[in-house]
Amino acid sequence: MNLISKRIRGMQDILPGESEKWEYIENVLKEKAKLFGFKIIRTPVLEHTNLFERSSGETSDIVEKEMYTFLDKGSRSVSLRPEGTAGVLRAVLENGLQGGNLPLKLMYISSCYRYEKPQSGRLREFFQFGLEVFGGKSALADAEIICVARSIFDDLGIKNLELEINAVGCKECKGVYNKAIRNYFTAYEEELCGVCRDRLNRNPMRIFDCKNEKCKSISKGAPVVIEYLCKDCATHLENLKEYLEVFNIKHKVNPYIVRGLDYYNKTVFEFIINNSQSPLTICGGGRYDNLSKELGGSDMCCVGFGIGMERLLMIMQDQNLSFGSKDDIYVYVVSLGEAYKNKSIEISQRLRNIGIIAQQDIVGRNLKSQVKYADKSGCNYCIFLGSQEMENNVVKVKDMASGSEFTLGLGDDFEKYFVGLKNTKL
């Protein structure tokens, strides 16, 4: 086929067969978050570019080379959101929700965009599920969202999942620590890889992320943030650990977790899958108490996380997990000629009115082809409507699984029968 236009690079069509899996996961995510009092927020895909420059940091890779940024017709620089948090926080501040009933708990499923080289599990358009709690200073807020994540993964049946937490300190302890760590790495400057030498000046903590063996071994001897926490930050971490105990959530402290976005303070955490060749992070988040002020808002404590939907789906498929079972009933109304079309429309409508999926022939096929189509599209029951049935005001019902047939009157019994089927299936 020679279409005049094809899918844009890095974009994905989610077709029936696949879309049901998304629907299932999204429902689990939303329902679970609702149980903790989270409400859905929807924000625009497009934001002014400076929002992301401020939130992610102007020198971050995301802003420097991965954003879809362009001028709109009024010559304003706008960008497709590369992540979910900034837009949500902007919306909260702009609509004055920070002055309302706090803590405010919000969730979202957003499409996000990054101009990267596409690879399996990393497309240019991707979906992120996120939770944010605004106005929660206590470590209980941190613990609670971690608990939501943990419960979601448990509900989905994800295996080999570990929670790692860390503290990256506040402005003060971060400053002291950055000095210490810069001193340490400067001693090894010659041995570091090129990228890390650059990191040494810009953001030395990121050296921990390097996969270069040499850099890794040097990192091992480096001082860790936890040893440099101020009293407040240290207490916060201790409280978090205690709350996690109460929630009965296993965790370990990994002092080397440094998340890509540098707006985090105090708590950072990741859920990591350990069954594959290399560990894979499927959920990352933390506290970002300073971002609200950074964006020009009032002082407000924030904590949140994001889950990459594509990655979550991939892991579930790798682990052969179930995406729920469909308990819908689907009935196909087979009519044996044009003369019975109107009646078949009426019957289909009666079924839909009681919440049963109903289809009928709309292309004028013969009986055999109608049944074939019905079967292939997964129908549970076929209803036959022909001259014999019309005369007696009945239909013939066929159970497609067993192949058995019986006659059903078109009075009230008709609805009663299918409602009954529905109830036994639930």
Query: How far is residue 334 CA from its own chain's centroid?
Result: 40
Task: State the Cα–Cα distance between residues 132 and 146, nearest whole angstrom.
Answer: 11
Among 42, 179, 326, 365, binds RNA (CB under 7 A): 365
Task: State the Cα–Cα distance between residues 82 and 127, nearest whole angstrom.
Answer: 10
Least Å from the CB of residue 398 to RNA: 5
By CB under 7 A, the residues from 112 to 141 that bind RNA are 116-120, 122, 128
Region binding RNA by CB under 7 A among candidate stretches 91-99, 141-149, 345-353, 366-374: 366-374
Region binding RNA by CB under 7 A among candidate stretches 37-45, 155-163, 231-239, 365-373: 365-373
Region binding RNA by CB under 7 A among candidate stretches 2-10, 100-108, 157-165, 238-246: 2-10
Task: State the Cα–Cα distance between residues 63 and 144, nearest whole angstrom.
Answer: 31
Region binding RNA by CB under 7 A among candidate stretches 138-146, 239-247, 319-327, 398-406: 398-406
Least Å from the CB of residue 129 to RNA: 10
Task: State the Cα–Cα distance between residues 353 and 265, nearest whole angstrom.
Answer: 54
Task: State the Cα–Cα distance between residues 383 and 374, nearest whole angstrom.
Answer: 10
Pick from 316, 253, 389, 419: which is nearest to 28 by CA?
Answer: 316
Residue 358: strand, helix, or coil: strand
DSSP string, 299-332: ---EEEEEEEHHHHHHHHHHTT---------EEE
Judged by CB under 7 A, does residue 9 bind RNA?
yes
By CB under 7 A, the residues from 182 to 241 that bind RNA are 193, 195, 206, 209-212
Among 46, 140, 234, 260, binds RNA (CB under 7 A): 260
Pick from 333, 328, 326, 324: which is nearest to 422 by CA?
Answer: 328
Strand ranges of the sheet holding 77-80, from the earlier edge strand across to the other edge: 46-48, 77-80, 69-71
Judged by CB under 7 A, does residue 54 bind RNA?
no
> Which residue has 């990228």 as its token pair?
195
Judged by CB under 7 A, does residue 251 bind RNA?
no
Among 368, 423, 424, 426, binds RNA (CB under 7 A): 368
The smaller minimum CB distance to RNA, of residues 294 and 405, is found at 405
Region binding RNA by CB under 7 A among candidate stretches 148-156, 175-183, 220-228, 399-407: 399-407
252 exposure class (CB count in 10 Å sphere: 0-12, 13-18, 19+): exposed
Q: Which parts of this chain interact with RNA (CB under 7 A)?
A: 1-2, 9-10, 61-62, 83, 116-120, 122, 128, 193, 195, 206, 209-212, 259-261, 270, 280-282, 284, 306, 308, 311, 336, 365-369, 371-373, 375-376, 382, 384, 386-389, 396, 398, 400-401, 403, 405
